[in-house]
Amino acid sequence: MSKLKDFIEKKMSMSHIYQPVMIKVLLENGGVADKKTIAQNILSYDFSQVEYYEGITNNMVGRVLRKNEVVSKNKNNYELKLFEDLSSTEINDLIALCDLKINEYIKKRGTKIWEHRRRNRKAVPGSTRYQVLKRADGRCELCGISKEEKVLEVDHIVPKNNGGEDSIDNYQALCFSCNANKRDTDDTDFRNLNVKYQTRQSDCIFCNMSRKVIAENELSIAFYDKFPVTSQHVLIIPKRHCIDYFELSQPEINAMNRLTHILKEKLKSKDANISGFNIGFNSGEDAGQTVFHCHMHLIPRRKGDVENPIGGVRNLIPGKGDYKTKPNTP
């Protein structure tokens, strides 16, 4: 035991969860397990796979079955109509019929039905995978999500089906979802996005600021507003210089949203009186923007900080906030 424990605690170098999962499976199965069992257990930890098939369930199969009045949906749950009227024998017969339909389809179409999920290539060596993910700063080179939030894969820029090579020059880091949506005929190179994110402007006060950063991720930073509306008023900005919200890329929007959630909890832990937030952007001079580097305001609110908070951001235009007492006011 001491040798295995020493390996797990001190010597195991991980680029993924595979090693501890495999050891766990072996321990749970008397020290022996076939590769299929190990693979199935690894799959059970892959939430991106679940996310992918949740999309299939909602947008394809669930929609078809609802249209044909076979199932109904209540929030995240699907319910088989008339299930309560079925006897146990009828349920077993219907399950057998479903198995028959599944097996007939697989027999007819073969493994081609899974080609959209198949990886017809050799595994990328760990050292190469590390270099690709390091080059991408540990984030998906399309959507910008970090490796801590979703598993990243090494994608062939020019697909193997189109003659793409197994070389680091033909690899890019994509999260599972982006890689699944990038078809085997798509040779888009997303690595150039990294260059864009380094853009700074010499005369921009946010590009060259010296204020204390209170939160940061790969594409955005946050700091306290110099002229706070309320105590702990925070600004969240993209590191790249862009003028307003409408110039943000999706990865930058994702990064700023992640900081917003982190800061919400951080600010509330510092001040238990915070009971709400105003969140927003000023885009354009006529909307009140004075610093033309995109920035999001995260403004903590406390009970009683204004006499009548109804309407929130609607109060930007005098007289438009309290719509409850003025139902005809647009």
158: confidence class by pLDDT, cuts 50, 70, 90: confident
Alpha carbon distance 59, 53 (integer Å): 10
- 67 contact partners, CB below 8 Å, separation of at least 6: none
Mean pLDDT, rounded, for 107-125: 66
- Cα–Cα distances (Å) from 313 to 16, 234, 243, 297, in that order, read 44, 16, 21, 12
Q: Which residue has the tokens 């009971």?
A: 275
Look at residue 141 in the predicted model and tell me its pLDDT: 83
206: confidence class by pLDDT, cuts 50, 70, 90: very high
**DSSP string of 78-94, one letter each residue:** EEETTGGG--HHHHHHH
Listed range (57-71, 230-244, 264-278, 285-299) with the worst mean pLDDT: 57-71
Which among 106-120, 184-198, 255-269, 305-319 has the top mean pLDDT? 255-269
Residue 251 has pLDDT above 70, yes or no: yes
Residue 197 has pLDDT above 80, yes or no: no
Distance of CA 313 to the CA centre of its chain: 28
Looking only at the bridges linking them, the beta strands covering 77-80 and 152-156 are unpaired
Higher pLDDT pick, 267 / 145: 267
226: confidence class by pLDDT, cuts 50, 70, 90: very high
3-state secondary structure of 148: coil
Alpha carbon distance 148, 140 (integer Å): 11
111: confidence class by pLDDT, cuts 50, 70, 90: low
- pLDDT digits 0-9 by tens, 265-305: 999 999 999 999 999 999 999 999 999 999 999 999 999 99
Walk me through the domains of the chain, giving residue ranges and CATH numbers: 2-45 (no CATH), 126-196 (1.10.30), 215-316 (3.30.428.10)
Residue 242 has pLDDT above 90, yes or no: yes
Look at residue 212 in the predicted model and tell me its pLDDT: 93
Residue 112 has pLDDT above 70, yes or no: no
- Tell me whether residue 295 is one of the annotated catalytic residues: yes
Look at residue 150 in the predicted model and tell me its pLDDT: 79
Look at residue 136 in the predicted model and tell me its pLDDT: 84
CB of 193 within 8 A of CB of 141? yes
Q: What percentage of the chain reaches a pLDDT higher than 70?
A: 91
- Cα–Cα distances (Å) from 200 to 83, 206, 258, in that order, read 61, 9, 22
Among 156, 293, 295, 297, the one annotated catalytic: 295
Secondary structure element (H or E) that encloses residue 107, with its range: helix 88-109
Look at residue 1 in the predicted model and tell me its pLDDT: 63
